[in-house]
A = this chain, B = another copy of it.
Amino acid sequence: MPIYKAPVADTLFVLNDVLGYERYANLPGFADAGPDMLEAILGEAARVAENVMHPLNRVGDEQGCVRHEDGSVTTPKGFKEAYDQYREGGWMSLSLPAEFGGQGLPYTIHSAVGEYMSSANMALMMYPGLTQGAIAAILVHGTDEQKQTYVPKMTEGVWTGTMNLTEPHCGTDLGLLRTRAVPTGTGSYKISGQKIFISAGDHDMAENIIHLVLARIEGAPEGTKGISLFIVPKFKLDADGNPGEKNGVSCGSIEEKMGIHGNSTCVMNYDDAEGFLIGAENGGLRAMFVMMNEARLGVGLQGLSISEIAYQNAVAYAKERIQGRSLSGPKAPELKADPIIVHPDIRRNLMNMKAINEAGRALLLWTALQADVTRSSPDEAARQTAEDHMGLMTPIIKGVLTDKGFDHAVMAQQVFGGHGYIEEHGMSQFVRDARIAMIYEGANGIQALDLVGRKLAMNGGRAVQTFFKEVGDFCEENRANEQMAPFTKGIKKGLNDLQAATMWLMQNAMAKPDNAGAASTDYMHLFGLVALGYMWGRMVKTAQEKIAAGETAPLYEGKLVTGRYFMDRIMPETSAHLARISSGADSMMALDAEAF
């Protein structure tokens, strides 16, 4: 049975010591959540994740969801009760606006808590996770009446939400979608069509489910310009706003998936379902993007979450399993063999996971703080910088942390040897669950294209230049600091490779767009390495300052070693990425399709 312990001390180190959480106290929400309150909330979140969510993780995988003949769906045993505890504990409403019943706390805290909950039970956390995205779309694009009608119940968690984009023939290319919306003349629409891969599409945990559905209004233009977004409740609301008559929407089947069995992934059939336009007619794609950006950060967080719990279990096994002797002589002579954590190749796996998890956590929390700035800072310049940061980092966080999350689940499973391949140890579940995060909310190849094709050039490259300057300045400022030299040297080398790749793209992608596409995934990972390396620079500097001030703690010592490992073993990958990018698209694109 896998273990899990929320890494509260690391979250607090990053937020308080590295990122200067207290500097944000002027923003709304932060005033109510000073460092003491932050610690208390994280402590309580840890308790819920460890004791309520985590024990159901294997259960969810084993039992999965069941669709009954009437189209209703039952979630795994215990899921509803755990979800009730979650929403009654106020975890759903944490960072939602007070005017709709939320607690108005920072999004940053919501993110920190989200990591723990998704580590503990990714499949279960998707039910409230999708609801957060749906709420965000209604808050941004809905009318006041729509907000009043739906958001309070969703904030409370008694109703949940979904996102309905994909159809059998269209996923990435939403311009192809066929679901139709016919105006009734009374302000509503009749929605008909089939949507697939709908997470939390139907279940038994909420009194109503608010589907946000992309569809094409009769007569609308073809392609993405003719898509509108609709609210389609599972149960139509009666005059008092309570769920009444069943709407024309139902779960046609549950997909049999590789993982996240605890989440019901539904084929949803819409048959003249009553729907209400949200946002502008034919402006559906823009409205949906609000949900998608938030969701993409959430998926990046899932990558970290699975990586963290997989890591913790690999560590526990490596300390307990005895096999062979250390190459440098017995370390546990009283036993018949040493614990396998003495073996370098086991360490390599553990250190890789640790080095990327800790930097990934810092990158996510840094970005979450920027999200809070974009939401509520009174300073326009600060908001713009924060928006730039988020736009730039969203595809990187989604693409890189989910690729790494999966790799790490595989590494952790490898530490278990043959036992890792047996389902009862739970390591296979981490691999199978982590796999989806590379695919949904825009496959990682799409994230890379978003980065290279949109984010890089946006506003004349402002976001990327700001980032390069910040990282470059950090290296410059610490040039005289000898203790920092191995770190600034590694970061600087990575930054140079990233800047060279950026320059190569500027010079070669305009004339030949395939060069951008051919470079995209490598560029995303190269960027991710530099961003993670920069996080290591900041963490190490903070730890050095703490130690210099006499505050020794294993956490600080650990940062120095792990940061060094990152520079020694992970940062060198930047040069391979640069070499690949600079080779261009020629050998990648030269073969005729028939030659494959």
Contacts and interface: CB of A to CB of B under 8 A. Distances in A.
A319 B594 CA distance: 9
A592 B331 CA distance: 12
Interface stretch (A13-21, A295-303, A343-351): A343-351
A171 B414 contact: no
Contact of A517 (B343, B518, B573): B343
Contacts of A256: 422-424
Given A327-B514, A518-B348, A595-B557, A258 B432 contact: yes
B414 A588 contact: no
A220 interface: no
Nearest to A513: B327
A561 B587 contact: yes
A256 to B, nearest CB: 5
A443 B328 CA distance: 21
Contacts of A242: none
B588 A580 contact: no
Contacts of A588: 344, 347-348, 351, 565, 568-569
Contacts of A337: 173, 175-176
Number of copies: 2
B587 A423 contact: no
A593 interface: yes
Contacts of A341: 593, 596
A89 interface: no
B328 A514 contact: yes
Nearest to A446: B345
A339 B596 CA distance: 14
Contacts of A171: 323, 417-418
Interface string A103-137: 00000000000000000000000000000000000
A579 B589 contact: no
Contact of A595 (B175, B558, B564, B569): B558
Contacts of A315: 596
Contacts of A78: none
Contacts of A318: 596
B348 A521 contact: yes
A528 interface: no
Contact of A591 (B175, B258, B439, B561): B561
Given A176-B323, A323-B170, A346-B445, A428 B258 contact: yes
Contacts of A350: 596
Nearest to A255: B422
A576 to B, nearest CB: 5
A17 B349 CA distance: 41
B345 A421 contact: no
B576 A572 contact: yes
A306 to B, nearest CB: 15
A585 interface: yes
A51 to B, nearest CB: 23
A520 B591 contact: no
A586 to B, nearest CB: 8
Contacts of A347: 518, 588-589
Contact of A344 (B197, B328, B517): B517
Chain A contact residues: helix, strand, loop or mixed = helix
Nearest to A420: B439
Given A336-B176, A579-B572, A596 B354 contact: yes
A525 to B, nearest CB: 12
Interface string A166-177: 100111110110
A575 B596 CA distance: 29
A257 interface: yes
Nearest to A331: B593
A449 interface: yes
A345 B257 contact: no
A53 interface: no
Given A172-B417, A176-B337, A256-B423, A517 B345 contact: yes
Interface in A418-437: 418, 420-424, 428, 431-432, 435-436
A162 interface: no
A583 interface: yes
Given A323-B176, A596-B315, A596-B354, A345 B422 contact: no
A374 B341 CA distance: 39
Nearest to A442: B417
Contacts of A590: 561, 564
Contacts of A565: 587-588
Given A328-B512, A417-B172, A440-B418, A520 B344 contact: yes
Contacts of A424: 256
B414 A445 contact: yes
A258 B513 contact: no
A568 B585 CA distance: 10
A562 interface: yes
Interface in A479-528: 512-514, 516-518, 520-521
A528 to B, nearest CB: 15
A97 B572 CA distance: 50
Nearest to A340: B172
11 contacts: A171-B323, A256-B422, A258-B421, A258-B428, A315-B596, A344-B517, A350-B596, A414-B438, A421-B439, A572-B575, A573-B576
Given A173-B323, A573-B576, 7 more contacts: A197-B418, A258-B431, A328-B512, A414-B438, A414-B439, A414-B445, A568-B583
The list of the 4 closest CB pairs from A to B, nearest first, reads: A344-B517, A572-B579, A327-B513, A568-B583
